[in-house]
Chains A and B, each alone.
Chain A
Amino acid sequence: MRNIIEAKNLSFTYSANTPFEKAAVKNASFCIAEGDYIGVIGHTGSGKSTLIQMLNGLLMPSAGEVLVGGRPVWEKKKCRRDVRFTVGLCFQYPEYQLFEETVYADIAYGPRNKGLPEEEIDRCVREAARLCGVGDELLQRSPFELSGGQKRRVAIAGVMAMEPEVLILDEPTAGLDPRGRDEILARIREYRQEKGKTIVLVSHSMEDISANAQKIMVLSRGEIRFFDETKRVFEHARELEEIGLGVPSVTRIFQMLRARGVDVPGNVYTLSDATRVLAERLKGGGRDA
């Protein structure tokens, strides 16, 4: 697979040369391949948001460089604006960015900035709305009349409508109830299946990430501690515990079972895997089950 994003020795320092100087990201190097589903996890202040804002040219790295589609982001100004359409970034609490009179117009804001012809805009808007579960009946309403979950989906649709190669979502489920959370995550999975585009999901919930991402990037104090396939990252359970992140609850239960001598695999990360493993064992009628 071709690398869509390459980061080389990225660093970012806030308030450089003042007493408040703080290194938010330190010397991060990584590649994101086309079609990847990457989960970025870390505590508040671990540099997640800073890192992703450097990937679409919103923040200029203090050192290092970012290549998007092989081209350096900070070389030309024109280039930088194009990058924002290639790497779509959906901020935390994106519903606070809604401003248009109708939901339709708000979703169309991105594609219109991209300079697409009108019929193309219409296609993008309707497709993004469908993918995010925003019904046709909502399109002509004011975004300010909608419920919290609906607003969130409209805002995500606004970024999807730009048809970016990479979709970065910063805590898309923050502040939603469990049902809203599952709905959003399912929409993102569907979008990926249908479009095959790259996705970067930022979250502090191990559960959300492990159930969705193929690869996990673990950030701690501005440094990338791990960046590998989900299974391999969870093998470092103790280090993750030290960072204060831990592994998903299901995995922990299975590891505790193993410690007590129950013969179950130690690499179960999602509820569905757990159900499958347990069902097999019960059917097989094993001694410990």
Chain B
Amino acid sequence: MLNGFSFGQYFPGESALHRMDARVKLLLTIGMIVALFVAGGAVPMALLVALTLLLFIGSHIPLTVLWRSVRGILPLVIFMSLLNIFYIKGPTVLAQFWIFTITLEGVWRAIFLAVRIILLIVVTSLLTYTTSPIDLTDGLERLLSPLKKIHLPVHDLAMIMTIALRFIPTLIEETDKIMSAQKARGADIDSGSLVRRVRATIPILVPLFVSAVRRATDLAVAMDCRCYHGGEGRTRLKQMKLHRVDLFGVLGYACILAAVIGLNFLPFGVV
């Protein structure tokens, strides 16, 4: 039941995206999101779609894996697109019934929005699929390290994130196990009224919380035993270094962003 959940899972590989420095990837992902919102017409958006497709193919991530992270957001995308179809009014009326009017502009807007959100998910998924959680949080810690000057506990925050990411699959597995155990005792989880269903989650949530707290205590003790005392004076086993692939990445992105901005000024395809 919960096996389909895959957002934020690392998918090991050897592609250029995998080899890229986590800091650069993080910045480029943010850059891509900016580009997605800068793109104001069909042409620059098509360019970004092509780029994302290229990145996806280059990363050797199976389509089924990517589909799982997109699938979860689809209902929201469809809902927002529908809203746009009915709300955006333009001069070109396609259909009219009762109080609803569907215009060409609304349809365009809806498609545009759907593409933008899906690309957003795909791009961020690519980041988490091609970067191990450890690299990701290390990269984040390094990027945010200037904030240590204003006494922001950057290292601790990064450690919390690492641990949280690490335990997501474990907790999912645990939930699955507890659900099976309670079903074996006759729990009826997926039928009945709303109140009954909410009540039916108690036998799952209580043991889940208990085991999460137990795990946290165990982990804290284990870290204490290995003399963990925060980020002070801590060195790294793996030093982060920039490579040629990172340079190409940044240059490539600069070109794309310039192209997107330039194409925005084209007189056609503006939505």
Contact = CB atoms under 8 A, between A and B. Distances in A.
Nearest to A161: B185
Interface stretch (B108-116, B122-130, B134-142, B176-184): B176-184
A53 B186 contact: no
A113 B184 contact: no
Contact of B62 (A19, A84, A114): A19
B187 A113 contact: yes
A88 B188 CA distance: 15
Contacts of B188: 81, 113
Interface string A157-180: 011001000000000000000000
Nearest to B205: A99
B184 A159 contact: yes
Nearest to A88: B184
B134 to A, nearest CB: 22
A85 interface: yes
Contact of B183 (A19, A84, A158): A84
Interface string B169-198: 000000001101111111110000000000
Contacts of B185: 84, 97, 109-110, 113, 158-159, 162
Contacts, number: 60
A96 interface: yes
Contacts of A110: 185-186
B207 interface: yes
B169 to A, nearest CB: 14
A11 interface: no
A88 B109 CA distance: 56
Contacts of B178: 96-97
B204 to A, nearest CB: 8
Contacts of A37: none
A113 B207 contact: no
B186 A91 contact: no
Most buried by B among A58, A90, A97, A162: A97
A85 B203 CA distance: 17
Given A91-B177, A94-B181, A98-B207, A84 B202 contact: no
Interface in B203-225: 203, 206-207, 210-211
Nearest to B203: A99
B182 A97 contact: yes
B235 interface: no
Given A19-B62, A91-B181, A97 B186 contact: no
A88 B182 CA distance: 11
B239 interface: no
Nearest to B211: A96
Interface of B: 3, 62, 64, 177-178, 180-188, 202-203, 206-207, 210-211
Given A96-B177, A99-B206, 15 more contacts: A18-B64, A19-B62, A53-B180, A56-B184, A84-B185, A90-B184, A91-B177, A91-B184, A96-B207, A97-B185, A97-B203, A99-B202, A99-B210, A113-B186, A144-B210
5 contacts: A58-B183, A84-B186, A97-B178, A109-B203, A110-B185
Interface pairs A-B: 7 shortest CB-CB: A113-B186, A99-B206, A97-B181, A89-B184, A110-B185, A91-B181, A99-B203
